[in-house]
Amino acid sequence: MPTRVEISALREHIGSTVAVTGWVLTTRSSGKIAFVVVRDGSGYVQGVLARADVPPAVWERFATLTQETTVRLAGEVRADARSPGGVELAVRDLEVLGPSRDFPITPKEHGTAFLMEHRHLWLRSRRQVAIMKVRHEIIQGIRDFFHQRGFFLVDTPILTGSIGESGGSLFETEYFDLGKAYLAQTGQLYVEAACAALGKVYCFGPTFRAEKSKTRRHLTEFWMVEPEVAFATSDDNMRLQEDFVTSLVARVLDRRAEELKELERDTAKLASIVAPFPRLSYTEAVALLRAQGSAIEWGQDLGAEDETRIAEARDRPVFVYNYPRGAKAFYMKENPDDPRTVLCDDCLAPEGYGEIIGGSQREDDYDRLAARIREQGLPEDAYGWYLDLRKYGTFVHSGFGLGLERTVAWICGLQHIREAIAFPRMLYRLNP
Ligand code: 4AD
Ligand code: MG
């Protein structure tokens, strides 16, 4: 039996006889010559069988191949300029490792509900494989970006006491004799604590929001990366976000061109993502929207449509900064130049993808923060440790959270966030 080679490495074996294992995508046969396309995760390859060159048993076995049959093919690797990987396999032997009968997802069109029910199988499609590879690239890009800049990774808890972004959207569970525990909405408050120990830190993990939102931008479980930087102002924070987002887009363009092609992504729209990003104060944004006929009043948060309108006329993400305090979380620092507002920013992606980042400078004054906690009716004792950070060596610091799935959806050009994660959790989806 020839040695097994991953499909992505076949190019290095031109002229040799090797084995490939994987799953059948498609077959076709003219009666004299037959073709089988196989996927092994690393790539795709076409196997070619000539009836005259293989034993009759192998030819008959080919006829039994159905979509998603697991196979081992053996044969000579041949250069073939027309093939996607530049090679094809001249098959001499074929073994069925696992049959597949009536695979439910056929090349015909299926409705989204059906595909979501079969998500565990849908993942094998070329399109879903491409999305998962882009997601992988973005995750690796995130880790490399922060590692290269001297940030330390700090893993924050998923089970927390009642502490987070805001009340009202916490998933809760019983926690032994200690009452209720809540699934983390954010790791931010914990990375703020770690920031005073390590200077530049980030956390990257799943976060949970029990929001009853049924939009194409909301998941109940999503991954968020949250850097926190000591002695960084809101302005420094936006510059870091710019560098971060442009580095991720450039990395995907550079390393995942094949996947973006599979997704029919207009890469010209990604190639224009360069720093600096335009900045618009919240007050300017409201004026702009009103000039376009919107009924938005100063003080109201921007809705998804407002975000789309602000970002759609531009070729790169836009920062909207310094929102009214009433529209934002309690921990954001009051703007000394206009105390009705806080030092924060949302980064809005173009093409209607909306907010991919929320960030802010943090309130570092003990009394002001305590007042904000009281004002919002938050359980003060739960925030005692968080207030301690302002009691023992308080410091200017800023950070942000980038939603991974929204970023994947934008970079891949997806219609809906549900395709940006392998097993999405949404209001009406807990299985598979
Ligand atoms: O704006 P958010 O709520 O900010 C925070 O959680 C801060 N604690 C971050 C920080 O400063 N460390 O969420 C940040 C990002 C959003 O911009 C969005 O990309 C994503 O998280 N996000 C969601 N993604 C999918 N589904 C949801 N329900 C999301 N809610 C927020
Ligand atoms: Mg936000």
State in Å: Cα 292 to ligand 1 middle: 28
State in Å: Cα 300 to ligand 2 middle: 14
One pLDDT digit (tens) per residue for the chain, 432 residues = 799 999 999 999 999 999 999 999 999 999 999 999 999 999 999 999 999 999 999 999 999 999 999 999 999 999 999 987 899 999 999 999 999 999 999 988 999 999 999 999 999 999 999 999 999 999 999 999 999 999 999 999 999 987 777 767 999 999 999 999 999 999 999 999 999 999 999 999 999 999 999 999 999 999 999 999 999 999 999 999 999 999 999 999 999 999 999 999 999 999 999 999 999 999 999 999 999 999 999 999 999 999 999 998 899 999 999 999 999 999 999 999 999 999 999 999 999 999 999 999 999 999 999 999 999 888 888 899 999 999 999 999 999 999 999 999 999 999 999 999 999 999 999 999
CATH 3.30.930.10 is held by the domain 119-420? yes
Using alpha carbons, list the distances in angstroms from residue 157 to 139, 181, 184, 189, 334.
20, 11, 7, 11, 28
State in Å: Cα 139 to ligand 2 middle: 20
Does any ligand 1 atom lie closer than 6 A to the CB of residue 311?
no
Q: Which of 222, 224, 353 to mutate to test the pocket of ligand 1 (most atoms within 8 A of CB)?
A: 224
Closest atom of ligand 1 to 356 CA is 19
Does any ligand 1 atom lie closer than 6 A to the CB of residue 348?
no
Alpha helices in 16-93 (DSSP H): 56-64
Q: Which residue's CA lies nearest to atom 23 of ligand 1?
A: 403
Rounded to an integer, what distance in angstroms lies between the CA atom of residue 24 and that of residue 37? 6
Q: Which residue's CA lies nearest to atom 6 of ligand 1?
A: 186
Does any ligand 1 atom lie closer than 6 A to the CB of residue 400?
yes
State in Å: Cα 281 to ligand 2 middle: 15
Rounded to an integer, what distance in angstroms lies between the CA atom of residue 186 and that of residue 209? 9
Burial-class residue 174 by CB neighbours within 10 Å (0-12, 13-18, 19+): exposed
Q: Which of 154, 222, 301, 345 to mutate to test the pocket of ligand 1 (most atoms within 8 A of CB)?
A: 222
Q: Which residue's CA lies nearest to atom 20 of ligand 1?
A: 403
Whether the bond between 157 and the residue before it is cis, its omega within 30 degrees of 0, is no
Q: Which residue's CA lies nearest to atom 22 of ligand 1?
A: 403
Closest atom of ligand 1 to 226 CA is 12
Q: Is 19 left (phi over 0), alpha (psi -120 to 50) or beta?
A: beta
Domain ranges of the chain: 7-98, 119-420
Residues within 5 Å of ion ligand 2, judged at the Cβ atom: 358
The ligand placed nearest to the CA atom of residue 201 is 1
State in Å: Cα 307 to ligand 1 middle: 15
**Which pLDDT does position 83 carry in this prediction?**
87
Q: Which residue's CA lies nearest to atom 5 of ligand 1?
A: 401
Closest atom of ligand 1 to 359 CA is 11
Note the pTM of the prediction, 2 decimals. 0.97
Closest atom of ligand 1 to 222 CA is 25
Give the three-state DSSP class for 341. strand
Q: Which residue's CA lies nearest to atom 18 of ligand 1?
A: 403
CA-wise closest residue to 71 among 26, 116, 133, 14 = 26
Rounded to an integer, what distance in angstroms lies between the CA atom of residue 162 and that of residue 432? 29
Does any ligand 1 atom lie closer than 6 A to the CB of residue 406?
yes
Q: Which residue's CA lies nearest to atom 24 of ligand 1?
A: 403
Q: Which residue's CA lies nearest to atom 17 of ligand 1?
A: 357
**Which pLDDT does position 219 carry in this prediction?**
97
Closest atom of ligand 1 to 213 CA is 28
What is the CA angle 83-88-93, rounded to 5? 150
CA-wise closest residue to 63 among 19, 31, 21, 18 = 31
Q: Which residue's CA lies nearest to atom 28 of ligand 1?
A: 218
State in Å: Cα 326 to ligand 2 middle: 13
Rounded to an integer, what distance in angstroms lies between the CA atom of residue 422 and that of residue 418? 8
State in Å: Cα 215 to ligand 1 middle: 15
CATH code that applies to domain 7-98: 2.40.50.140
Q: Which residue's CA lies nearest to atom 30 of ligand 1?
A: 218
**Which pLDDT does position 167 carry in this prediction?**
66
Closest atom of ligand 1 to 407 CA is 19
Give the three-state DSSP class for 200. strand
**Which pLDDT does position 195 carry in this prediction?**
98
